[in-house]
Amino acid sequence: MAVSGLLLGGFMLVHLGENLLLLKGEAAYNGWVEMLLANPVTPLLEIGLLFLFLAHIITGTWVRIEDFLKAPSGYETLRWQGGRTLGSATMLYTAAALLVYLVYHMLTFRFVDHSMGFYQMVTGAFRAPVFVALYVAGSAALALHLSHGMQSAFQTLGVNHPKYTPLIKAVGMLVAVLMTGFALISVYYLLGMDIKAAEAGYNIVIIR
Ligand code: HEM
């Protein structure tokens, strides 16, 4: 569960980087996605990714069932003695929300007709407030999930050191905060900031 979680966290950072290319413009974004689709290795990576999600969901569910079956009275107190945070207390709920979000995400961006081009599809979808609200909620669930998940994964793997644990926690928190970037991208298009930037004469907003 810890290994699949860390690898999925790595995927999220890469995916955020990919989607920041939206800000660079249509040619950059479509060029990247089309390059990926033309690469014969991509289907293998997608199967690997599917395997990671399944492994994470199945092991996560199994751990919860085991906890439930074994739990003596007062177990909750033991479980959270390392410090209960909003992230740790809501892991199950954010996991469920992410699963729903992911299915919706696949149905709207992955398994659809891409003939209009990926940039048009994504930015067009982000003009709709309800769609963006779902993306903001999904992004918040992801940030909350990772705020506990990243550090918890290292602890499970036995990385526990007085000197490095605070650093691991800080990096985990940074990764979690970065996940709000998905929400910011969708809000950027909802507010028409790309249009305002183009009117002001900026084609490239963040990355060059
Ligand atoms: C700004 C927000 C996001 C945008 C614009 C975006 C865009 C996309 C697009 C266009 C695809 C389809 C690529 C293809 O058909 O090959 C995709 C796939 C995917 N996205 Fe996102 N995404 C966003 C956020 C997220 C988040 C928050 C997650 C995870 C919770 C996520 C997980 C995935 C996964 C697992 C795939 C499938 C990968 C693949 O099959 O290549 N995405 N995304």
207 belongs to a structural domain:
no
Look up the domain containing 10 and give its range.
2-199
Instruction: Provide the pLDDT for residue 153.
Output: 95
Centroid of ligand 1 to alpha carbon of 138 (angstroms): 12
> In a 3-state reduction of DSSP, which class is residue 128?
coil
* Dihedral angle of Cα 49, 52, 53, 57, to the nearest 10 degrees: 170
CA of 19 to the centre of ligand 1 (A): 8
Ligand 1: which of 47, 110, 134, 144 to mutate, most ligand atoms within 8 Å of CB? 110
Q: What is the pTM of this model?
A: 0.90
In a domain, 204, yes or no: no
In a domain, 159, yes or no: yes
Instruction: Kindly write down the DSSP assignment for every residue of 142-182, as one continuous string.
Output: HHHHHHHHHHHHHHHTT---TTTHHHHHHHHHHHHHHTHHH
pLDDT in tens, 174-200: 999 999 999 999 999 999 999 999 888
pLDDT at 68: 86
Domain count, the chain: 1
> Is 206 part of a structural domain of the chain?
no
Whether residue 119 lies inside any domain: the answer is yes
80: Cα separation from own chain's centroid: 25
Tell me if 205 is assigned to some domain.
no
Token pair of 74 as six digits: 């007062």
CA distance 43 to 45: 5
Ligand 1: residue whose CA is nearest its atom 38: 46
**Is 22 part of any domain?**
yes
- Tell me what pLDDT residue 1 has: 95
Pocket-testing residue among 7, 182, 189, ligand 1, by greatest number of atoms within 8 A of Cβ: 182
Q: Quick one: pLDDT at residue 72? A: 67
Which segments of the chain have a pLDDT < 50? 81, 207-208
Report which secondary-structure segment, H or E, holds 116.
none
Confidence at residue 208, expressed as pLDDT on a 0 to 100 scale: 43
Alpha-carbon torsion angle 206, 168, 156, 146, nearest 10? -30
Q: What atom in ligand 1 is closest to the CA of residue 135?
A: 2
Residue 208 lies in a domain: no
Is residue 119 in contact with ligand 1, taking CB distance under 6 Å?
no
CATH number of the domain at 158, please. Answer: 1.20.1300.10
Angular region, 197: left φ>0, alpha ψ -120 to 50, beta rest: alpha
Closest CA to 188 of 136, 138, 142: 136
Tell me, in angstroms, the distance from the centre of ligand 1 to residue 58's CA. 21
3-state helix, strand, coil in the chain (%, to 5): 80, 0, 20
* Nearest Cα residue to atom 14 of ligand 1: 110
- Compute the distance between CA of residue 147 and CA of residue 141 in angstroms, rounded to an integer: 10
